[in-house]
Every structure is written in C-alpha cells, then in structure tokens.
Structure 1
Amino acid sequence: MTSRVEHTDVGAYALGLLETDDRVAFEAHLLICPSCRDELADLAGVASVLHGIGRVEEPDPPSPEGQDDVIDLLRRRKAADRRTRRGTFVIGMAAAVTLVAGGLTIGTQLDADGTPQVAQDHSSHMGPAEQFYVEGKPIEGKGAAGVTGGLVVESKGWGTHAALRLAGVQGPLECELISVARSGERRVMTGWSVPPAGYGVPGSPDPLYMHGGSATPLQDIDHFEVVTSAGEKLLTVEL
C-alpha cells in the first residue's frame, strides 16, 4: 500500500498487518475518512478472534552470486503469492466477523513527533444505524405488549433506507423488518436473531439498532412492520 491508501486496508490495519510506512499513511487517512473509522470500530474484536494470524515471512534472501537468477525469481514470486493469499484470507475473515460489534469510538491524537495515532473510547461509540437514528427524526411505532420502537427513514435513488430501534423484546426469536407498499407488496428490508437475553429488557437494557433497505420508493410505502418468523407482529410504524 506504499503508493496509495486503500479503504480495504482497514482489515489489515485492525489486525496489525501493515508495515510501518503503510500504518502511518492509513492512520492519516483515518483523519479524513468517517467510513473507515466506522468500519475499524466494527472490527475492534477481529484481532482477538483471528489470534495467531500474523505477517507472512519475508522471502528467502537473494541467491548467492553465480547461482541461476531464475531460481531467485521463482522464490520471490512464490513469496508474493503467499502474501496475496494471506491478505485475501485475512480481509475475508475480517469481513466475516464484522457482525461482532466492536463498540469503540475512533478519535485521533498526535505523538510528540506529530504522528497521528488512533485513540479508542469503548464507552461512547454509536454504530452507523444508531447514529443515523439519533440524528434523524424518529417515527414512533405501535408495538405488541411491552415492545417499543421506531424508525428513521430516508429516500434513496435505489429505494428506501431505514434505521430501526427496537426494545422490550425477549428471545430467542428470528425477526424481519418489512416495508409494505400502498399496493400491498411486502419487501424484507433486513433480518436478525434476538438472543435469549433480548433487547431493552431487565438484564439486557440496551435496545437493538438495525439498518435496512427496500427497493420500494419511500413515497410508495404505506407502513413498516417488524414480524417474527412465526408471523407474530411485534411493531408497526405508520408513515
């Protein structure tokens, strides 16, 4: 990454796989890229989950003078292939565990030499869905007994984007957020599992925040529903 900073380097950075120059360049990139900061927050637990995956060893030293240069070239290509495969594996695994919420806020501070460093605050981070909900204008829904929640919605070129807040739900359950068009067409926007501890209940007071998307334009939607896999309606949000 020495020539330029890539957004996909956030996974390698979270795992400590970047060389010194690349790490410094990426930390400077974090100063101006909110999306990378959010993704890095979500990947906070990746290093421990993938413990034991380290840097690939450097290629063997060049062949002594007089040996066939072709052998040395093949060794270097083999080492480069190993690095490529390891990098692909690490980024894939990092993406696979992104759903393990990190729960930290990314800030910046400078060392004495002016090098930007990443500061972490595990107590105040809001994920993208929660931040969108808090900064928007929530529409309160009507819930089943004990269930509360609401939506923040916005129109997109591809359809409708929504952030859901849900509380008062005990698990285990499998749920979906559904958009219901004026025509009656129903589209699943997102789905999730509620663990036995639940959300927004005694012993597990934090509500659930989720993103969702529907191809139905916002102006064509009549209402939204949160339903269980058994067909029980937990929440209805009217527009």
Structure 2
Amino acid sequence: MTSRVEHTDVGAYALGLLEDEDKEAFEAHLLFCASCRSELSELAGVASVLNGIGPVEDDRPPSPAPAIDMLRRKRAADRRTRRGTFVIGMAAAVTLVAGGLTVGTQLSGAEAPQVAQGSEHMAHMGPAEQFYADGRPIEGKGVDGITGGLVVESKGWGTHAALKLAGVEGPLECELISVSKSGERRVMTGWSVPPAGYGVPGSPDPLYMHGGSATQLKDVDHFEVVTSTGKKLLTVEA
C-alpha cells in the first residue's frame, strides 16, 4: 500500500497487520475519509474477538492467535490482489477458526457488555464527535451567532483537530485552516453546509469534522473557519 492508500485496507489496519509505513499513510487517510472511519469503528469488535481466539493452554510456547496468524499469512499471499478479498477472507476465517462463531450474536448473557443508562448516544457518536467529547475543547470566537471550538493534538506528522460548529446556516462551502506563527495558512479540511444548516432551529445538531495540518501544533498561532468567499466564521486560538 506504499504507492497508494486503499479504502479496503481498513480490515488490515483494524487487526494491526499493516507495516509501519502503510499504517502511517492509512492513519492520515482516515482524517479525510468518513466511510473508512465508520467501517473501522464497526470492525473494532471483530478485531478484539479475533485476538481473543487463541490455542488451548498447554506446555507449548505461546503463539499468535490462530485467526490472526491465518490472516497474516493470507495478507502476505494476497499482497498484490485487491484488498477487498482480504476483508472477505477475514469473515471466512472467523467462521472457520471459531467453529461457527457469529460476532455480535454470540456475545450474549453474562458475556455481553452492559450498556449504562444514558450512554446510548455515546455508542452512536462518530469518530470526530467522540474525539471532541473525550478531549479538552478550546472555545472559539464566532460571528453572527456562530459558536464552536476545537480539540487538538500533536502528531508526528503535524496537528490533528476535531471541530464542533453550530449556529451556521447554508448553503455554504467552508474550510478549517491552521495559521502558523509565521503566517503560513494550511487547509485542514473542507465541507459543504446544506441549506438547513447546523445547530439552528429545525436542524439542532452541530457539525463535527476531523482535520489535519502538516504544521506542528507548537508552531500554530490560531485556527480559522472560513467560507469559500473568504468570510471568517470562527477563530480559535491555539
């Protein structure tokens, strides 16, 4: 995958089968691909079950879980094929190794995770909203009743941010921009605001978005949300 990032590599990433270079490339790809982030969230449970399917304890040295080992070998054999084949093979391996295990239906009774009251919304959060909820938001200064903020973190490749935006009406095209202390401006992500808007009467849910900048967080002065016409909607100090 060093030549390009495949959407279907999400299965390999979930099981930790990507090489370091491919893993870094795919993590950067996740920032801008909502479909891959959603699929990764759905596969998280499958990955944990596969990692838990190990050999019966005996006196032999520990070895990788058979399902993971099988998938590693399959990954190596199919490296030049479409990644979709790997994802299909992963599902087949679960059935083969676990003797008919059906992920999501077998984890019932005493083994089923208990969902606390009031946590239903948490279970349905998207990656950007979850990251924002778990972090320490920096409130921004908006115009025309617009509110919002950012949760930011430093990465080896630059700065990762989750944006919350409310009180904005469409239709608009917007971008989240990082502005360095030297004045360099980098687009972190872009989106369209539908006519109904976000965080307004009739459309009360705010917008949550991921973004990434190659500028290191220590070098960022502030962030801006601007429209395609250049109007500044929100400013967030770093």
TM-score relative to the length of structure 1: 0.54
Residues 157-201 of structure 1 deviation map (CA, whole Å, 9 limit, x = unaligned): 001011100000001110000000010100000000011111000
1:146 maps to 2:145: yes
The answer to whether the 8 Å contact 1:31/1:108 transfers is no
- Report the identity percentage: 71
CA displacement at 1:86 relative to structure 2: 11
The answer to whether the 8 Å contact 2:146/2:167 transfers is yes
| Whole-angstrom distance in 2 between the partners of 1:209 and 1:111 | 33
2:173 match: secondary structure = strand
Matching residue of 1:163 = 162
Matching residue of 2:47 = 29
| Whole-angstrom distance in 2 between the partners of 1:231 and 1:172 | 15
| Whole-angstrom distance in 2 between the partners of 1:201 and 1:178 | 23
TM-score relative to the length of structure 2: 0.55
Matching residue of 2:12 = 7
The answer to whether the 8 Å contact 1:176/1:229 transfers is yes
| Whole-angstrom distance in 2 between the partners of 1:209 and 1:149 | 10
Runs of 4+ in 1 over 3 A off after TM superposition: 6-11, 25-28, 30-33, 84-88, 106-109, 121-124
1:226 match: secondary structure = strand
CA displacement at 1:128 relative to structure 2: 1.0
1:145 match: secondary structure = coil
1:137 match: secondary structure = coil
Matching residue of 2:107 = 110
Residues 62-110 of structure 1 deviation map (CA, whole Å, 9 limit, x = unaligned): xxxxxxxxxxxxxxxxxxxxxx77947x99xxxxxxxxxxxxxx97762
Matching residue of 2:135 = 136
* Matched AA of 2:12: H
| Whole-angstrom distance in 1 between the partners of 2:197 and 2:182 | 34
| Whole-angstrom distance in 2 between the partners of 1:164 and 1:130 | 8
Matching residue of 1:220 = 219
Higher helix share: 2
- Gapped regions of structure 1 (runs ≥ 5): 1-5, 16-24, 34-83, 92-105
| Whole-angstrom distance in 2 between the partners of 1:107 and 1:30 | 12
- Gapped regions of structure 2 (runs ≥ 5): 1-10, 16-34, 52-80, 89-102
* Matched AA of 1:142: K
